[in-house]
Amino acid sequence: MLTGISRRLQPVFGSSRPVLPFTTSGTGGLEVAAGNVIAPGDEVVAVTIGYFGDRFADVAAGFGAAVSRLQVPWGEAAAPDALRRLLRRRRAVKAVLLTHNETATGAVNPLPELAAVVHQESAALLLVDVVSSVGGMPVEVDRHGIDIAVGVTQKALMSPPGLALVAVSDRALRVAAANPGSRWSLDLVRMAESVDAGTTSYTPAVTVLFALDAALAEIESEGLAAVFERHRTLAGRLRAGLANLGVVVRAEPGCRSDTVTAVRIPGPGATAAAVRRRLADHGIAVSAGREDWHADTIRIGHLGWVSEPDIDDLLAALTEIGKDWT
Ligand SMILES: *Cc1c(COP(=O)(O)O)cnc(C)c1O
């Protein structure tokens, strides 16, 4: 089953190598990426468009990297030219860190364009957090020259938490093998060798593998292209409904995610906490905003096992709650 899952994840990640399951959270997966290729003192460029981009940068700094941040205002995507300018001012960048889909803001980065800039302007490894995109939006590890892509089971892959799913290039494995930096149970090369031998380096979250096996069967029977199309259509349906309610989608037009939408609740008649409580009465769970967006923003997940009635039920509930906003 393990070998099957590693292989069946390949089209989901667009990777020609088996995808590696590490028993850890998504953040642990970011630690796999940074810890295996970064040694203390290495120059790293981190493109951050929000909370999770900051976290990836912090993880790299935790492994001793000298991190230069391209900090983009929340709600926006990174501009390829801004990354180009930053890379031209830096020499010997070991790795560039990107977030594909920023779950805190609902903004999605132009991954193909940013990846092209990284490869044009540097020889850096490209490490990408695809935690909240993979399985819901196209991710093309090989095509875009991504060296390490980190996903998880508990988002668009519809399974419980417990596994970070890591796609890796041959180049990243070579760099990892030569890297003296710290890591032990999250060693990339040892895991790649183990998976090639049909096992994992240490005891895996077996129960989660069973769930993922079933989730992949769902995705395969729907068809990956149809899964992506469903996410795109549902995101559009949600935004169209929200436009009628006077709430503000916080990601800029042109970079709005297919998997998560952050919206500002118009005050003063409601707060995000009050809206979340009232949605809970309808049996609907949404997340609060992060950091500065905590008080006035809710985040609606529409990824994985989600369909039109889910979106319509949410819109109907928000319509009722929204009568008190004005
Ligand atoms: C959820 C998430 C993470 C963290 O995953 P955990 O499993 O909670 O550690 C990292 N990056 C992004 C973009 C996420 O959405």
d(CA 36, CA 32): 6
The predicted structure's pLDDT at residue 326: 62
CA of 156 to the centre of ligand 1 (A): 12
Tokens in use for 153?
């089971």
CA of 164 to the centre of ligand 1 (A): 10
d(CA 225, CA 261): 21
Whole-model pTM: value is 0.98
The predicted structure's pLDDT at residue 186: 98
Q: Which atom, in ligand 1's list, is nearest to the CA of 161?
A: 7
pLDDT tens across 259-289, in order? 999 999 987 778 999 999 999 999 999 999 9
% the chain with pLDDT above 70: 100
Q: Residue with the nearest Cα to atom 3 of ligand 1? A: 26
CA of 268 to the centre of ligand 1 (A): 31
* Ligand 1 pocket mutation pick from 22, 27, 108, 134 by most atoms within 8 angstroms of CB: 27
pLDDT tens across 186-239, in order? 999 999 999 999 999 999 999 999 999 999 999 999 999 999 999 999 999 999
Q: Residue with the nearest Cα to atom 6 of ligand 1? A: 26
Confidence check: pLDDT of 297 > 90: yes
Whole-number mean pLDDT of the chain? 97
Per-residue pLDDT band at 324 (split at 50, 70, 90): confident
d(CA 34, CA 110): 22
Q: What DSSP assignment string belongs to 128-140?
A: EE-TTTBTTB---
The answer to whether the CB of 60 falls within 8 A of the CB of 95 is yes
pLDDT tens across 147-178, in order? 999 999 999 999 999 999 999 999 999 999 99
- How far apart, in Å, are the Cα atoms of 314 and each of 227, 235, 244, 257? 21, 12, 13, 18
Ligand 1 — pocket residues by CB below 6 A?
A: 25-27, 52, 99, 103, 129, 131-132, 152, 161
Q: Where are the beta strands (DSSP E) in 174-305?
A: 248-249, 260-264, 287-288, 297-301
Q: Among 97-111, 243-257, 285-299, 312-326, where is mean pLDDT lowest?
A: 312-326
Q: Report which secondary-structure segment, H or E, holds 95.
A: strand 93-99
